A and B are shown apart, each in its own frame.
Chain A
Amino acid sequence: MTHKGQNFYLALLVPVIVVLLLFIAAPIGHSFFLSFHRIIIGLPQLKTPFVGLDNYQELLNDPVARHSFWITVIFVGTTTFFELLIGILLALLIHHRFPGRGALRACVLIPWAIPTVVSAQMWRFLFNDAYGVVNYAVFGTEITEYIPWLALPPTALLSIIVADIWKTSSFAALLILAGLQVIPEELYQAARVDGAVAWRRFWHITWPLIRPALLVALLFRTIDAFRVFDLAFVMTQGGPADATNVLQLYGYKKMFVEGWMGYGSAISVCIFIIVLVLAITYVRMVGQRLLEARV
């Protein structure tokens, strides 16, 4: 390619790179900077003194932060596991060729397309303590038995986990479907000729071949689950007793409700580092293979 041609293509990239630097890269860097300062939004007269690692020291000794961390880990672990499981089942179904497959695919996509805030209000309604349909499904008309799902710590966490699984299993299904679509049909025909039954065909052909797609889905889902915010904000406001106070919600409260910009930034830096480490680990696991597959 000529020099002129390359310069032209590089010039086309400039606007995107400027936007991403300005609104993603610079803010991430600036968060590090802010986390070394004491900044209180409502009190500008206190200035913004440099406090070194004080915010991080405080964070290490903050029981609420530690609790938030474990809550988030439980949330990420369970939702990712069930989303991948349901995702595989859904993907196998919508991969099958049958009349009405397009309609089923559209149905499965609907939870993904709905705004998270809407699905949060929906689950808040379904889990209602007095007239929620979940209580009715479990206890019938035995009203005295009804559980206030969102007001008890363990069930509140369970409720946002259920809401998240409902909302994003279809996304996992789509990523796994992409993996199913590249398996050549001949493999199954050959296996059938050899007399392999359905589950053996799944175990020996489908499973090993969708593993890369499954890992990609695992990567996207784990990283995305770490930024859970909308569900907890709408359904429980982080309560009861911080039982659903996930990390991003805790950071939000510190920064924008209480106004501790410096301390909140320390929290956000920690979340950033957790996600970065996860991303690097996963990319090391799958990245090489994917890059090769790509060419």
Chain B
Amino acid sequence: MMKRFLKKSLFVVGILLAAGFSLAPFLWFVLSAFKNQTQITAIPPQWLSSFSMESFYSAIARYNIFHYLLNSAIVAGSATMVTISLGTLAGYALARLPRRWGQIILMGILACAMFPQISIAGPIWRFLRFMGWLNTYQGLVLPYVALTLPLAVWILALFFREMPEELEAAALVDGCTRLGSLMRVILPLSAPGLFTAAILSFIYAWNEFFLALLIMTDPARQTMPVGIALFQGEHTIPWGEIAAASFITTAPLILMVLLFQRRIVTGLSAGAIKG
């Protein structure tokens, strides 16, 4: 009886520790967005004694963060759409080709995700400059497509493999073309897989910083991570505004995690266990 109680309380302590470890630092940081400068820099640290939206106004009006947010939405949104369209075709093909071929090609595609971004940065920058695509949306979207494709193709290939080939066989007998059977029979059934791949690609593109820093040197085209990293005050570090901008950038991601936790967990771990 006593032992059982001890075990249970140990487990509860573990849960609290895990939740605290994950949430506390971020919550404390975000709290600064609702404080004024004196409260932020107070020692001993202060809880929220007065609730102020000043930092949000300033971040929006003075630092123009909606502009960065719009750039992020355009870049991450288009990268995700292109990745999912191309990734669906490839994932489907890999699921239906003979196992051995599929395996080898998939390995090759996955190998592309392993390399440090710095080893592609110089040539990509030169290529984009040559095309006149530095500081353009397509200049950032294309590398993001390349970097998100491997994981997306992997998730989609595993997903399509679970679908019985008889589905298309029936459609072919009914006079559908191969492409038609993919579009009309397979795709409508694979919404969950597409969705998982889309969430993960979007989060990657939304958060990416290194290439965005190189390619978008013009503040008018910079994405949110670049804006947050280069945040500058006149005399002091504007923590309130940084926290407000961080909160706005992170809010959609947190919402996604809360709503689609199960999909993200399976999406990330499916790859690990099967390959």
Contacts and interface: CB of A to CB of B under 8 A. Distances in A.
Nearest to A23: B146
Contact of B116 (A94, A125, A248, A264): A248
B214 to A, nearest CB: 6
B57 interface: no
Contacts of A267: 118
Interface stretch (B48-56, B58-66, B189-197, B265-273): B265-273
Nearest to A170: B22
Interface in B112-136: 112, 114-127
B55 to A, nearest CB: 13
A200 interface: no
Nearest to B41: A131
Interface string B73-108: 000000000000011011011101111000101000
Contact of B125 (A111, A182, A256): A256
B18 interface: yes
B261 A28 contact: no
A20 interface: yes
B170 interface: no
Interface in A259-295: 261, 264-265, 267-269, 271-272, 275-276, 279, 290-291, 293-295
> Which secondary structure characterizes the binding site on chain A?
helix
A13 B90 contact: yes
Contact of B93 (A10, A28, A265, A294): A10
B89 to A, nearest CB: 4
A13 B257 CA distance: 31
A16 B125 contact: no
Interface string B240-275: 001100100110011011100110110011101111
B70 interface: no
A171 B274 CA distance: 17
Nearest to A86: B21
A106 B269 contact: no
B272 A175 contact: yes
Which residue among A26, A107, A216 has the maximum number of chain B CB atoms within 10 Å of its CB?
Answer: A107
B222 to A, nearest CB: 12
Q: How large is the interface on A (under 10, 10 to 19, 20 to 34, 35 or more residues)?
A: 35 or more
Given A5-B178, A23-B146, A131-B41, A123 B25 contact: yes
Contact of A174 (B94, B229, B268): B268
B42 A126 contact: no
Interface string B166-198: 000000000000110000000000000000000
Contacts, number: 277
A275 B92 CA distance: 30
A229 interface: yes
> Which secondary structure characterizes the binding site on chain B?
helix
A227 B118 contact: yes
A93 interface: yes
Contact of B123 (A16, A27, A216): A27
A136 B268 contact: no
B128 to A, nearest CB: 10
Interface stretch (A55-63, A114-122, A153-161, A187-195): A114-122
Contact of A20 (B15, B146, B231, B250): B146
Interface residues of B, number: 94
B273 to A, nearest CB: 4
B43 interface: yes
A86 B231 CA distance: 32
Contacts of A179: 272-273
B253 to A, nearest CB: 4
B149 to A, nearest CB: 6
Given A98-B11, A117-B207, A247-B118, 5 more contacts: A19-B146, A108-B19, A114-B26, A143-B43, A251-B121
Interface of B: 11, 14-15, 18-19, 21-23, 25-26, 28-29, 32, 40-45, 86-87, 89-90, 92-94, 96-99, 103, 105, 109, 111-112, 114-127, 142-143, 145-147, 149-150, 153, 178-179, 203, 206-207, 209-210, 213-214, 224-226, 228-229, 231, 239, 242-243, 246, 249-250, 253-254, 256-258, 261-262, 264-265, 268-270, 272-275
Interface of A: 1, 5-6, 8-10, 12-13, 15-17, 19-20, 22-28, 30-31, 34, 86, 89-90, 93-94, 96, 98, 100, 102, 104-111, 113-123, 125-126, 130-131, 133, 136, 140-141, 143, 166, 170-171, 174-175, 177-179, 181-182, 213, 216-217, 220, 223, 226-227, 229-230, 233-234, 247-248, 251-252, 255-256, 261, 264-265, 267-269, 271-272, 275-276, 279, 290-291, 293-295
18 contacts: A16-B149, A20-B149, A24-B120, A24-B147, A28-B115, A106-B257, A115-B228, A115-B249, A116-B225, A126-B29, A131-B45, A136-B44, A141-B44, A166-B25, A268-B116, A269-B119, A271-B119, A272-B116
